[in-house]
Amino acid sequence: MRPRTARATKIRLDAPLRHFFYLKENKNRMSEKRILSTECSVYHLFGRVVHRRRILGEAERDAWVRALHRAAVFSGVELITYCVLGNHFHILARVDPGVKACDDGELVRRFRALYGESKAQWCALDAAGLAHALAHDPPATAERLRARLRARMGDVPEFMRTLRHRYTKWYNRTHDTVGTLWAECFGSVLVQDLPWFVALVAAYIDLNPVRAGLAELPENYRWSGYAAALAGHADLRAALAGCFRREADESAALAAYRLLLLGRGAAAKGRGTGRVDRAALLETVRNGGELAPHELVQLRARFMTCGRAMGTAEWMRTGAGGAALARLRRPPQPVTVEVLDGGELAVAHRWMGAGGLDLPDSPAGFEEP
């Protein structure tokens, strides 16, 4: 059988970009050291329920969202957006190792955000007890306690461990079950902290329920960061608005984000539908046609989840991406998706060579995990 070759589709982007890189997924990913930056960086994080069971109903998703916000405050992580579905979740977050350097008052505040007024099993202290211990215990004892708390902050694996572990405990207690809830170690993609890249990944995440057929418009799915931002969550509104810094105010920035989500026609005055016509978009790609940015994020683009890092060529060579890649034992080979003059992103059709869009043989196989 003749091997399939990668064909490129030009996708026009309203962004002054010239080169876009992502690192191809290594087959032995779980045995590789995770790509982590020592600087303040953005990560796309995701995970799946064991056996791909669709067991997260409305109550379970409500609890997951609460657990996410509590874990984010405790870890000092800035949430940009998120989405949880019946059997998997996505998180886009900015993680700064510098948040470890905080005073005792901030440590107690973060501790209370995670544990409330309950005692943490690992230290047998509640928030009031922690404040007393930090102030009155012998210096060496108090410093060990501070070090243990700070080690769990500003760190991607610790943030995910806190979220997954505490949610699993809640789920098992609520449903009278035991054992693991998650299928594997969480996935992560290091994203260059450029507004356009961050907005692109955020839109991809917020459109998950639309691609899955769970909502016609992303704001109608309440277990997402975009819906929470529209409902008034100040931190999420500010995080999404930060991707459109040229806009006059926060409302204008969120309107620009909606254009990226749904396209100009659907987003003009809230009319239209965000439902994806998979067959039409796939046919467009196969025929070498051009996709608008909102059509790109409506398709399932594999470089959003199957890469190891994504950013510009310079960032990969000399920036945080290059530094993180250099620490790997077996660095994956970078695969280039060229951005031509005028802001055209070339994405190959097959997950071979340039990869990019996950295109099945028929639209029926084009489903969210």
The residue with tokens 């010239």 is 18
Do 118 and 248 belong to one domain?
no
Residue 280 falls inside a structural domain: yes
pLDDT at 34: 66
User: What amino acid is encoded at 288 in this protein?
Assistant: G
Please list the residues that pair with 291 across neighbouring strands: 11
CA atoms of 102 and 173, how far apart (whole Å):
33
User: For residues 263 and 209, is the Cβ–Cβ distance under 8 A?
Assistant: no
CA distance 64 to 59: 9
Pick from 150, 182, 210: which residue ends a domain?
150
pLDDT tens-digit series, residues 215-244: 888 888 999 999 999 988 999 999 999 999
**What CATH number corresponds to the domain at position 97?**
3.30.70.1290
Query: How far apart are alpha carbons 134 and 139 in whole angstroms?
Result: 8
In a domain, 166, yes or no: yes
61 and 145 in a common domain: no
Identify whether residues 27 and 76 lie together within a single domain.
Answer: yes
User: 104-115 and 58-75 helices cross at what angle (nearest 10)?
Assistant: 170
* Span between the terminal Cα atoms of the chain, in Å: 29
Q: Each residue of 86-100: b (16+ CB within 10 Å) or e?
A: bbbbbbbbbbebebb
67 shares its domain with 166? yes
- pLDDT single digits (tens) 87-120: 999 999 999 999 999 999 999 999 999 999 999 9
The phi, psi pair for 75, rounded to 5°, reads -85, -5
Residue 3 covered by a domain: no
Residue ending a domain, among 135, 150, 165, is 150
* 229-258: b (≥16 Cβ within 10 Å) or e: bbeebebbbebbbbbbeeeeebeebbebbb
Vertex 203: Cα angle to 113 and 72 (nearest 5): 10
Tokens 């004892």 appear where? 141
pLDDT at 18: 39
pLDDT of residue 192: 84
Assess whether 57 and 199 both reside in one domain: yes
| Enclosing domain of residue 222 | 8-102+154-365
Question: Of 150, 166, 185, which marks where a domain is finished?
Answer: 150
Bigger pLDDT: 307 or 245?
A: 245
Q: What's the average model confidence in pLDDT over 305-321?
A: 70
* 113 and 208 co-located in one domain: no
Q: How many structural domains does the chain have?
A: 2
How far is residue 322's CA from residue 328's CA, in Å, rounded to a whole number?
Answer: 10
Report pLDDT digits (tens) over 124-183. 999 999 999 999 999 999 999 999 999 999 999 999 999 999 999 999 999 999 988 998
My answer on whether 128 and 179 are in the same domain is no
pTM for the structure as a whole: 0.79
**Same domain flag for 134 and 275:** no
One domain, residues 143 and 158: no
* Phi/psi of residue 39, nearest 5 degrees: -105, 170
242 and 352 housed in the same domain: yes
CA–centroid distance for 344 within its chain? 24
- When pLDDT is averaged across residues 56-66 and rounded to a whole number, the result is 95
Q: Hunting for tokens 């949610």 — which residue is that? A: 167
161 and 289 inside one domain: yes
Mean pLDDT for the chain overall: 76
Same domain, 111 and 213: no
